[in-house]
Structure 1
Amino acid sequence: MLEIYAVTLIGIVLGQVTPGPNLLAVAGAALGQGRRAATFVALGVATAIFVWVTLAAFGLALVLAVAPALLTVMKLLGGGYLCFIALKSLRAAWRGSNPAFGAGETHWTDLAAWRRGVLVNLTNPKSALMWAAVATFLFGSGLSAPQVLGFAPLGFASALVVYGTYGVLFSSGVARRAYARFARAVEALFGLAFGAIGGKLVADGIGEIAR
């Protein structure tokens, strides 16, 4: 079992270090709000991953296979949420004030930062597919449901370490000074990135409904 866990964890960590909505959310919080906010966003992402592993252990892959429409709904909701964040960021870049990721003059509470991390991950259908695939691999390797559930703390810890590290890097003095100088450009880049991801998800969802 430990060998299976190790192989799975390596694959998960490699996936976590690559750019995506989770990294964008953490980086945005670090640049606009600082290390503490970024840490709580990372904690929110890790919490959502714990939820995904729990759901996967109790049949997420089976549910998605039996009810594929659920994935379509997730694409629409998740894409819509990412597009909402993107629009806020692009509007801030256009106006040159109240940056969406910096939250203007309003300091994020720990709960607000944690909630953003949770929502970004839970509304991402790619997370559902990834953890469904992970569950399928674990079950296919002979693990029982409790043993698959036992991977949840590892998924949680890896996300907290990976995204927490990104939070530290992006909240450094150099990164924050660069953000302060090029805030509008950074906001626009974040907005375009989230918009591209969210727009594709929504388009995919609409396409699946049309078929």
Structure 2
Amino acid sequence: MIEAFLAAWLGVALAQASPGPNMMAVASVALGQGRKAALLLVAGIGTGTLVWAAAVSFGLGALFSAFPLLLTLLKFAGGFYLLLIAYRALRAIVAGETSTVTASKAPLSDLDAWRRGFFVVMTNPKAALMWSAVATFLFGAGLGSAQVLAFGPMVALSAVAIYGTYGLLFSTGMAMRTYGRFWRAIEAAFGLAFGALGATLLVWGIRDLRS
């Protein structure tokens, strides 16, 4: 079991460290809202990770395989959510508001920051595909549902460590000062990146429907 856990965890950690909606959400909130909001968002991502672990341990991965339309719907949900974030970021630039891609001129409440992280990871098709692959690997290695469920805290801890590091880095004084000076360019970069990710997910969803 330990060998299977370590092999799966290594792949998951690499996926978590790679650029994607989770990392970008943490970076954008850290720059615009500060360290506390970023770390609360990270806590939301960690919570969502535990939910994914519980879901696949009780058969969600098999459900995605049996009913691909569910994953397609998730792609549309994630795509529209990322496009909404992108729209708000680009709208802030036009209006001259240094409000950040977190979508609010006012500071995020603790609950809003946590909820944003939770929603980002729960609507992230990358997470769905990763967890489906993890479940397939662990079940294929002979582990049971309880053992797959026990793998969740390992992944949640690595998510908190990896994304928390991003949150700390992007909320440093230097990063915040850089943002304050070049906020329009940074806002545009985040907005366009979120928009590209969202559009990509929608294209994938449309392709799924046509195939």
Provide the TM-score with structure 1 as the length reference.
0.96
Q: Aligned residues, how many?
A: 211
Aligned residue number for residue 119 of structure 2: 119
Encode CA deviations 1:175-210: one digit per residue, 9 max, x unaligned: 000000011111110011111111011111122223
Matches of residues 1-211 of structure 1 in structure 2 within 5 Å? Answer: 1-101=1-101, 105-211=105-211
Per-residue deviation, 1:105: 4.6
Gaps of at least 5 residues in structure 2 are none
1:102 positional shift? 5.8
- Between the aligned partners of 1:137 and 1:102, the Cα distance in structure 2 is 35
Q: Deviations over 1:114-173 (max 9, x none)?
A: 000011111111211110100100011111110000001111111011101110000000
- Aligned partners of 1:102, 1:177: CA distance in 2, in Å? 18
The letter of the residue matching 1:117 is: G
CA contact (8 A) 1:93 1:187 kept: yes
CA RMSD of aligned residues (A): 1.3
Maintained 8 Å contact 1:31/1:102: no
Distance in 1 (alpha carbons) for counterparts of 2:144 and 2:46: 23
1:181 and 1:166 mapped to 2: Cα distance?
A: 20
Identity of aligned residues (%): 50
Deviations 1:71-103, CA, capped at 9 Å, x for gaps: 111111110011111111111122221423365
2:49 partner amino acid: I
The 1-side partners of 2:104 and 2:82 are apart by 19
Q: 1:73 to 1:104 in 2, by over 3 A?
A: closer
Offset, 1:104: 5.4
Distance 1:82 1:202 in 2: 10
Letter in 1 for 2:131: W
Contact kept in structure 2, 1:32 and 1:103, CA below 8 Å? no
| Shift in CA distance, 63/103, structure 1 to aligned 2, threshold 3 Å | closer
Offset of 1:8 from its aligned partner?
1.4
TM-score, normalised by the number of residues in structure 2: 0.96
Check conservation: 2:45, 2:118, Cα contact below 8 A. yes
SS in 1 for 2:142: coil
Deviates more, 1:27-36 or 1:10-19: 10-19
CA contact (8 A) 2:42 2:160 kept: yes
